[in-house]
Chain A
Amino acid sequence: MDELRELYQSLILDHSRHPHNFKVLDSANRTADGYNPLCGDQITLYMNVENDVIKDISFQGQGCAISKASTSIMTTILKGKTIAEAQSIFNKFQHMIKTGEYDIDQMGKLAVLAGIHKYPVRVKCAILPWHTAINSLKSEDKAKIFSTE
């Protein structure tokens, strides 16, 4: 099987067809909209953040398999993390997605996305949810809109 199919196989089966935390979060005290105008990808993140801890997180929206899978995986990872931890994971994730290099102990489930670095145009799709989340967590604005362009 070629690399692209392998990449999609692991993503799609797990996350794109059956995304985790794909719902509106009633307890949300923070929402963030992310757009990638180039692709038309659009996600809304719902977060419940208390004392700098992401207590709960969910998402809605539409996009390609890569952006959907990346968002789904991100929500499972960020739940329970502090804002500082989220930022630190994002930095490593960003490095992985751009270069393909990563430490499996640090990346865990996120490692399935490493292959995307071979498709530079798609890096944006994978990073969109992270940019959206981190931007919102660092912002005073509790209903932030973020665009990649």
Chain B
Amino acid sequence: MIFDVNSIRQDFPNLHQTVNGKPLVYLDNAASTHKPQSVIEAVRKFYSEYNANVHRALYRYATEATEAYEASRDKVARLINAPDRRSIIFTSGTTESINLIAYAWGRHNLGPGDEILVTEMEHHSNLIPWQLTARDTGATLKFIPITADGALDLSNPDQYFTARTKLVAFIQQSNVFGTINPAKQIIEMAHQVGALTIVDAAQSVPHHQVDMTELDCDFLAFSGHKMLGPTGIGVLYGKPELLEAMEPFLGGGEMIQSVTMEKSTWNEIPWKFEAGTPKIAQVIGLGTAIDYITAIGFEAIVKYEKELTDYALSALSALEGITIHGNAHQRGPVISFNVKDVHPHDLAQFLDQEGIAIRAGHHCTQPIMQKLGVPATSRASFSLYNTKAEIDILIESIANTIRFMTG
């Protein structure tokens, strides 16, 4: 299939909006992406043509809804090459997926003397749950440091991977630096000391092939809304034997097998972890987003997004007074930067005036900001529907803002 960005753009109705009379230039894809018409249509179709609860009733639409819901589970399993569909649990997003492990596994398996290893690069959603787990269990939180290039410093593994390490939780692709971390290597080091692993794949699954069989991680989390899918839907992958041994997370309908007044037995996985009426429309929408991505294929996506990122990196670094944070060899389509004497919020405000949406702030990574010694950064992040022409508009507008603010 030939990668044609113009025809791809036609699939995304939201890209054709104007802001302040200017065409929208949407460069905040690491926060959330737009949705293709097919995803919007799949959600509409569910609500208008076969709306029903799943797994419960015997009438026709309930069956149809259940089939569509479960078909999405198969699509997710294929996308990340998970051998067993029972590994795929639908959650509300990466945040809930990680919290599920922190509560259903962490609170029952960790105690004083145990260590949870994370990195200094984590999004708050893969940091705060472990701070809370450490507080509640008496376990200790340890950190793999980052280098000046925005990569992980794995030069002293023995210092971090020890007999006490019980869980290693890390981000696969940084939402600040774009760095792609050596996930396979980290997982191997964790397994060598007998620790389990959880991968925050919120920024990686949307951009390149993430393969459960190859990585051999124990858990993995990602969000639908960052990969062309609806909001309110995410995935937790877990190895079946671990999920089976785990305590439930939320209690309620759907997750039980039999219930008496006094006690209950749990449903089989994955439903054991899907208490209550699930996010049916969102799950169906996510399945359609996966169809869209797979039709284009990661090979083409990686190649195109790399082209965009390289183009933006070289144009940005040519501007006077720009500091780019992160210079890792392996990187995804995310660029964080600061402009001398222009606060990120002032820059973002001027860019908004030109119809350009970038992110300015701490990106839910306050420890990274402290490490960089900046209060906030600006961040441009790309998706498969962005163009070099949009990057040209970004660069020109940044140059104009610098001139205005400092000239």
Task: Knowing A64-B346, A65-B346, say if A8 contacts B375 (CB, 8 Å).
Answer: no
CB-defined contacts of B362 to chain A, threshold 8 Å: 37, 40
CB-defined contacts of A148 to chain B, threshold 8 Å: none
What CA separation (Å) do A66 and B343 show in the bound complex?
Answer: 10
B404 at the interface (CB under 8 A from A): yes
What CA separation (Å) do A52 and B327 show in the bound complex?
Answer: 54
Of the candidates B349, B350, B361, the one whose C-beta lies within 8 Å of that of A40 is B361
Of the candidates A4, A12, A39, A63, the one whose C-beta lies within 8 Å of that of B361 is A39
CB-defined contacts of A119 to chain B, threshold 8 Å: 349
B343 x A65 contact (CB < 8 A): yes
B361 x A64 contact (CB < 8 A): no
A2 at the interface (CB under 8 A from B): yes
What per-residue 1/0 map shows which CB atoms of B313-351 lie under 8 Å from chain A?
A: 000000000000000000000000000000111100110
What per-residue 1/0 map shows which CB atoms of A112-149 lie under 8 Å from chain B?
A: 00000001001001000000000000000000000000
Chain B residues within 8 Å of chain A by Cβ, number: 17
A63 x B353 contact (CB < 8 A): no
What CA separation (Å) do A62 and B362 show in the bound complex?
Answer: 15
Of the candidates A38, A40, A63, A65, the one whose C-beta lies within 8 Å of that of B405 is A65
Interface residues of chain A: helix, strand, loop or mixed (majority)? mixed
B24 at the interface (CB under 8 A from A): no
Interface residues of chain B: helix, strand, loop or mixed (majority)? helix
B375 x A122 contact (CB < 8 A): no
Residues of B348-372 whose CB lies within 8 A of A: 349-350, 353, 360-362, 366, 369
Q: How far is the CB of A72 from chain B (nearest CB, A)?
A: 14
Chain A residues within 8 Å of chain B by Cβ, number: 19
CB-defined contacts of A62 to chain B, threshold 8 Å: 375
B375 x A42 contact (CB < 8 A): yes
B376 at the interface (CB under 8 A from A): yes
CB-defined contacts of A42 to chain B, threshold 8 Å: 375
What per-residue 1/0 map shows which CB atoms of B233-248 lie under 8 Å from chain A?
A: 0000000000000000
B349 x A39 contact (CB < 8 A): no
A39 x B376 contact (CB < 8 A): yes
CB-defined contacts of A64 to chain B, threshold 8 Å: 343-346
CB-defined contacts of A12 to chain B, threshold 8 Å: 405
CB-defined contacts of A66 to chain B, threshold 8 Å: 345-346
What CA separation (Å) do A42 and B349 show in the bound complex?
Answer: 19
B353 x A4 contact (CB < 8 A): yes
What CA separation (Å) do A41 and B366 show in the bound complex?
Answer: 13
Q: How far is the CB of A57 from chain B (nearest CB, A)?
A: 23
Q: How far is the CB of B249 from chain A (nearest CB, A)?
A: 28
CB-nearest residue of chain A relative to B406? A17
CB-defined contacts of A5 to chain B, threshold 8 Å: 404
A8 x B404 contact (CB < 8 A): yes
B376 x A40 contact (CB < 8 A): yes
Residues of A57-90 whose CB lies within 8 A of B: 62-66
CB-defined contacts of B361 to chain A, threshold 8 Å: 38-40
CB-defined contacts of A122 to chain B, threshold 8 Å: 345, 349
B405 x A125 contact (CB < 8 A): no
What CA separation (Å) do A62 and B372 show in the bound complex?
Answer: 15
Q: How far is the CB of B357 from chain A (nearest CB, A)?
A: 13
What CA separation (Å) do A62 and B405 show in the bound complex?
Answer: 16
B375 x A63 contact (CB < 8 A): yes
What CA separation (Å) do A40 and B369 show in the bound complex?
Answer: 9
A63 x B349 contact (CB < 8 A): no
What CA separation (Å) do A118 and B375 show in the bound complex?
Answer: 24
Q: How far is the CB of A59 from chain B (nearest CB, A)?
A: 16
What CA separation (Å) do A4 and B346 show in the bound complex?
Answer: 10
B343 x A63 contact (CB < 8 A): yes
Q: How far is the CB of A18 from chain B (nearest CB, A)?
A: 13
Q: How far is the CB of A38 from chain B (nearest CB, A)?
A: 7
What CA separation (Å) do A36 and B360 show in the bound complex?
Answer: 13
Q: How far is the CB of B353 from chain A (nearest CB, A)?
A: 5
A125 x B345 contact (CB < 8 A): yes
CB-defined contacts of B350 to chain A, threshold 8 Å: 4
Using CB atoms and an 8 Å cutoff, list the residues of chain B in contact with chain A.
343-346, 349-350, 353, 360-362, 366, 369, 374-376, 404-405
Q: Can you report 20 residue pairs joining A to B where beta carbons are below 8 Å apart?
A: A2-B353, A8-B346, A8-B405, A12-B405, A39-B361, A39-B375, A40-B361, A40-B362, A40-B369, A40-B374, A40-B376, A41-B375, A62-B375, A63-B343, A63-B375, A64-B343, A64-B344, A65-B343, A65-B346, A65-B405
Using CB atoms and an 8 Å cutoff, list the residues of chain A in contact with chain B.
2, 4-5, 8, 12, 37-42, 62-66, 119, 122, 125
Known: A39-B360, A63-B375, A66-B345. 17 other contacts (CB 8 A): A4-B353, A5-B404, A8-B346, A37-B362, A37-B366, A38-B361, A39-B376, A40-B374, A40-B375, A41-B375, A42-B375, A64-B344, A64-B346, A65-B346, A66-B346, A122-B345, A122-B349
Q: List the 8 closest pairs (A to B, CB-CB), nearest first.
A: A40-B375, A64-B343, A40-B376, A64-B345, A65-B346, A64-B346, A4-B353, A39-B345
